[in-house]
Amino acid sequence: MQRYFAKQEEDTFIIQEDDYHHIVRVMRMNVGDKIYCVNNDQQVAQCSIENIFENEVTAKVVQWLEGEIELPVSVSIVSGLPKGDKLEWIIQKGTELGAYEFIPFIAARSVVKWDEKKGAKKLIRWNKIAKEAAEQSHRTMIPEVSTPISMKELIKRSKSYDVKIIAYEEEAKEGESAMLTKKLQSMTKGQTILALFGPEGGLSESEVNLLKEQDFVTCGLGPRILRTETAPLYLLSAVSYHFELME
Residue 175 has pLDDT above 60, yes or no: no
pLDDT for 165 equals: 96
Contacts of 189 (CB under 8 A, 6+ apart): 72, 73, 243
23: phi then psi, degrees, rounded to nearest 5: -65, -45
CA–CA dist 54, 211 (Å, integer): 53
Cβ-Cβ contacts under 8 Å for 200 (sequence gap 6 or more)? 82, 83, 109, 111, 227, 228
Contact in structure between 99 and 195 (CB atoms under 8 Å): no
H helices present in 30-178, as ranges: 86-96, 116-136, 151-158, 169-173
Cβ-Cβ contacts under 8 Å for 53 (sequence gap 6 or more): none
**Nearest-angstrom CA–CA distance, 113 and 32:** 49
CB atoms under 10 Å from CB of 115, counted, come to 9
CA distances from 53 to 23, 30, 31, 169 (A): 12, 11, 11, 54
Assign 101 a pLDDT band (cuts: 50, 70, 90): very high
Mean pLDDT of 16-22: 95
Model confidence pLDDT, tens digit, residues 70-94? 999 999 999 999 998 999 999 999 9
Assess contact for 96 and 136: CB atoms under 8 A: yes
Q: Buried b vs exposed e over 196-231: b needs ≥16 C-beta within 10 Å? A: bbbbbebbeeebbeebeeeebbbbbbeeeebebbbb
The pLDDT of residue 72:
96
The model carries a pTM of 0.91
> From CA 144, how far away is CA 169, in angstroms rounded?
27
Q: Residue 15 pLDDT > 70, yes or no?
A: yes
- How much is the pLDDT for 171? 62
Q: Are strands 74-80 and 56-65 parallel, antiparallel or unpaired?
A: unpaired
By CB atoms closer than 10 A (0-12, 13-18, 19+), residue 173 is exposed
pLDDT digits over 200-219, tens only? Answer: 989 999 999 999 999 999 99
Does residue 168 surpass a pLDDT of 90? no
**Average pLDDT, stretch 25-46?**
96
Shortest CA distance to 197 belongs to which of 223, 177, 225, 159?
225
Domains in the chain and their CATH numbers?
A: 3-65 (2.40.240.20), 74-245 (3.40.1280.10)
pLDDT at site 246: 82
pLDDT bin (cut points 50, 70, 90) of residue 225 is confident
| Chain center to CA of 54 | 33
Query: Phi, psi (5° rounding) for residue 141?
Result: -150, 155
